[in-house]
Each structure stands twice: as structure tokens, then as C-alpha cells.
Structure 1
């Protein structure tokens, strides 16, 4: 029998994240919230953060909701609502700023995938601190995916599905952010082992 993290404290944060993105899609708020480099340069700074929660289309949103569900299945019980909100908020800001500073060729950006790469890395590190070997495998697997994308470019099939170019550099930024966000977990784990 599966032991899913269905208690409200584990279930409500990912549901809220999906509901937020679905609401933005339903009301077609991309023009107001997406990362648009020209508009950010003109002072619409909220777009750096808000762009993480809007999507190119419904297929794009569905893929990211699938990622939210997968992360909930893997790590839902590892985080409180407060920790979940902090991780999502910090990674959204990190990813948006990273796209702005390090990806000058990206003029329009939307989607949760960058920050989800960070969240899954954080969860993998949390797994390792709980002595779960799957955490090591997941951490290595995500980084291998990132390296594969960097060497081979974005997945063309996914790009067709979402009618947009997959922002693989944003995925890298998200994974770096998740690694940095998880560093204190690892430091505490090592200190407590010694």
C-alpha cells in the first residue's frame, strides 16, 4: 500500500502552487506577468518573479503541474508549508534574476520548470540527510539531465508541445539555486554526523 503525504500540511502547498498558475492561465495574465526583458528594463520589476508562475500554454502548464505532483510524491513529507513557500519564493526570485543577468538572449520567459529543478534538488539533498540512498540517485540524475541538456540543446518535442523554446539555461540556474538552497541542510547533516 502506498503511503502518500496526503495530510493537509503536505498537500495544500503544492495544490496552492498549481491553483495559482491555473488561475493566471485562466485569466490569461501572461501580458501582465511574463518575463519580458524590455518591460523589466523599463521598470516592471515584478516580472522577474511573477514570470515563474505563468505558462506559454495549457500543455506547458500541464507539464509543470506534473512536475509539482512528482515532487510532492517524492518529497512532500519533507517540508512544512512555511518551508515550501520559502523555497518556492526564493527559487522564483533566483531563477528570474538568473535569466535576467545570465541569459541576455532570452527576451520572453515563462514557467515553473526552472524553480522546479531547484525544488527537486533541495528534496534530493533532504533525502540524503535522512539517509535515503534515493536522494543521491535523484541528485545525480537531475544533474545528468542538466548536463545532457547543456550538451545537446533543448528537447525539440517538448518545444513543439509547449509552442516555445525550452529554456535549458533557466533549468541550470534553477538547479544551481536548489543546490545553494540545500547547502545548509548538508552542512548541518555533516556537523551532526561528526
Structure 2
């Protein structure tokens, strides 16, 4: 039997993340929140963070909500609500800044997927740190996915569904952000192994 983490402290953070993104979609706030390189250059730096929470369309939002739910089923019990909020905020800033500096060809960008790659990498490392063998498989799996995207490009089907180019370099940036976020876990794991 599957034992899902349904306690409020586990379910409210991902629900809040989905609700925030849905609220931005309902009010069609892309024009003031999306990553727009030209407007960021003019001083609208909030877009580096807020762009992670808006989406190209409803299917784009639905795909990212499915990702949030998947991560919740795998890793909800690893974080407290405040930690979840801080992780997603850090990764939003990390991804936005990373896209700005390392992806000069991206002029318009939206979506949670880069941030979610960071969250799942952090969760996989947390799994490893607490001794779950599935963490290693998940960690390898996410990096195989990223490598596939880097060598073969984005999925044409997903790009068509979301009516936007999938920013695979942003996924890589997000995954690297997950490793940065998990640095204390890695240090703790190494210390435990050496003890």
C-alpha cells in the first residue's frame, strides 16, 4: 500500500506553489512577471525570480503541476514548509540569474521546470544522505534526462503542447542549483561515510 504524506505540513507547500502559479495564470500576469531580457536590462530585475512562476499556457502549467505532485510523492517528508519556500525561492533566483547570464539566446522565458529540476536533484541527494537506495537511481535518472536533452534537444511534442520552446539549458541550470542547495547534505553524507 502506498503511504502518501498527506499531513498539512507536507501537502500545503506544494499546493501553495501550484495555487500561486495558477493565480498568476488566471490573472494573465505574464506581461509583468515573465523573463523578458530587454525589460530586465531596463531594470525590471524581479522578472528573474517571478518568471519561474508564470507559464506559457495552461498545458504548460499542468505539466509543471504534475512535476510538483511527483516530487511531493517522492520527497515531501524531507522538508518543512519554511524550508520548501526557501528552497523554491533560492532556485527561482538561481534559475533566473543563470538563464540571464548563461543563455543569451533566451529572450522570453517562463515556467517552473528549471526550478523543479533543482528540487528533485536536492531530494535525490537527501534520499542518498538518509540511506535510501532509490535516491542514487533518481539522481542518475535525472542527469541522464538532462544529458539526453543537451545532446538531442527538447521534445518537439512538449514544445508543441506548451506552444513554446522547452528551455533545456534552464533545466541544466536548475539541476546544478539543486546540487548547490544540497551541498550541506553532501558534506554531512561524506562525514558519515568517513566516521
How high is the TM-score relative to the length of structure 1? 0.99
CA distance in 2, matches of 1:190, 1:9: 29
1:124-172 alpha-carbon deviations (Å, 9 max, x no partner): 0000011101000000000000000000001000000000000000000
CA distance in 1, matches of 2:72, 2:158: 22
CA distance in 1, matches of 2:86, 2:22: 21
1:22-74 alpha-carbon deviations (Å, 9 max, x no partner): 00000000001000000000000000000000000000000000000000000
Q: Which residues of structure 1 form unaligned runs of 5+?
A: none
CA RMSD of aligned residues (A): 0.6
Q: Which residues of structure 2 form unaligned runs of 5+?
A: none
For these two proteins, the number of residue pairs brought into alignment is 194
**Alignment of structure 1 residues 21-32 onto 2, 5 Å:** 21-32=21-32
CA distance in 2, matches of 1:143, 1:2: 26
Match of 2:151 in 1: 151
How high is the TM-score relative to the length of structure 2? 0.98
CA distance in 2, matches of 1:7, 1:61: 25
